[in-house]
Amino acid sequence: MKFNGPSKLEDSKKVLEICKEVSAKGPVFVISDVSNSSIEKDSRELLVAQAKAEWFRGHVYLGTGPLQRAGAKALMLALYFTGKWTVDVDFADSERDARDLIAKKRLQPPKK
């Protein structure tokens, strides 16, 4: 997924809808390119409240600077504290690096 500009509440609703749909047959790996984006507080809170760990096998953030990396870590930390989140979160410098990381993770058994 590629995000541009500020992610608003409606954007997060659409992201949740997409993630739920694409994971209907099993958990997926997601690459989120956030290099040109930010996330508003209400949007982040919706993701924390409604994202389901069973949708994801892993999540790789791409194009993060210090601000986006801190925001992504804060979001994932909030999800971990819900007690429902066990998804690996990684960061990559390029799409190729993200895809290589996912290829390696696919060789590992899924976490339970």
Rounded Cα–Cα distance for residues 100 and 93 (Å): 11
Q: Which ranges of the chain have pLDDT less than 70?
A: 84, 111-112
Residue 16 resides in a domain: yes
Count of structural domains, the chain: 1
The CATH number for 89's domain is 3.30.750
Residue 81 lies in a domain: yes
96 assigned to some structural domain:
yes
Instruction: Look up the pTM and report it.
Output: 0.81
Task: Print burial letters for 22-55: b (CB count within 10 Å at least 16), e (below 16).
Answer: ebeeebebbbbbbeebebeeebbebbbeebebeb
In a domain, 63, yes or no: yes
The answer to whether position 50 is within a domain reads: yes
Instruction: Assess if residue 38 is contained within a domain.
Output: yes
Asked whether residue 112 is assigned to any structural domain, the reply reads: no
102 falls within a domain? yes
- Say what the pLDDT of residue 39 is: 83
Range of the domain at 48: 5-107
Using the 8-state DSSP alphabet, how is residue 7 labeled?
Answer: E
Report the pLDDT value the prediction gives residue 86, as an integer from 0 to 100. Answer: 76
Q: Is-contact 13 44, C-beta < 8 A?
A: no
Question: What is the pLDDT at residue 112?
Answer: 61
